[in-house]
Amino acid sequence: MKIGFIGLGNMGAPMASNLSKAGHEVTGHDIANAPPEGVNAATTAEQAAMDMDVVITMLPNGDILKNVAQQIIPHMKAGATLLDCSTVDVESARIVAGKAETAGLNAVDAPVSGGIGGAAGGTLTFMAGGSDVGFAAVAPLFDIMGQKAVHCGPSGNGQAAKICNNMILGVTMIGTCEAFALADKLGLDRQKMFDVVSTSSGYSWTMNAYCPAPGVGPQSPADNGYQPGFAADLMLKDLRLSQKAAQDVDADTPMGKRATELYHQFVDEEDGSGQDFSAMLPRFVSRRRP
């Protein structure tokens, strides 16, 4: 395929590179970063979109996505597919999809899970929203960039799945960190706690695969000074998206709301910005009951 790729940051660059290595003709554009090796350079977003079978966007937020979509949709050829892999609010995803479909394009919103390592290794999980035709058009690309793609329903449902997943992730990480901090003060060895919880009813991804305690369980950012695999800043972004969505549809999410408040405090008022989202553990260890 001829593929345009707009947004070549920490996630977009390796995704574009993997598509190029697989034999696709990829042209990329980013306002700050040069394309990776094997990816042709476009000087504008419009140029990256012209005459492409698929245009992929990986952008920071919904406002930027809407602005870029407004620029590129008029330049995309009829029947092409706009594949947005950004993590944005559901409303923005549906607005962009509507404009694309009105212009005779397919539109798929497919945010990802798996972080920078997954992007580099081609092991991402895609949560996709859009028509059956649109999903089928880009399914071969999902197989290159990731290990799994789930078609979650119509436009916007990919974003809905992503924010629901990451709300669970944020809440669970806080609970895991709280439990380790409590275990410390009760005199329970962290390794012993892991040995029990990882094989008991407290089993979770944040405990078993991404343990926030250094030296416990498999390798994780905790073993690298909490250098981010998934930054606390990004977790806060996703939690805020979950709460915006909850407000829009009048959903009661008290744990999601509290997790958002705690990550806001950690990132914006303490020293959490730039750290992994599992760095909540030393935060809880150093604090006393309010």
Instruction: Please state the φ and ψ torsions of residue 55, each to the nearest 5 degrees.
Output: -120, 120
Q: How far is CA 268 from the centre of its chain?
A: 20
- Could you tell me if 215 and 223 are in contact, meaning their C-beta atoms sit under 8 angstroms apart? yes
Is 162 noted as a catalytic residue in this protein?
Answer: yes
- Could you tell me if 180 and 54 are in contact, meaning their C-beta atoms sit under 8 angstroms apart? no
From the list 21, 77, 162, 244, the catalytic residue is: 162
d(CA 142, CA 155): 17
Of the candidates 28, 26, 33, 39, the residue with the CA atom closest to the CA atom of residue 10: 33
Q: How far is CA 29 from the centre of its chain?
A: 20
102 burial level (CB within 10 Å; 0-12, 13-18, 19+): exposed
- Could you tell me if 159 and 184 are in contact, meaning their C-beta atoms sit under 8 angstroms apart? no
Helix (H) or strand (E) holding 57: strand 54-57
What Rg value do the Cα atoms of the chain yield, rounded?
20
Helix (H) or strand (E) holding 152: strand 146-153
- Could you tell me if 122 and 147 are in contact, meaning their C-beta atoms sit under 8 angstroms apart? yes
- Residues designated catalytic: 162
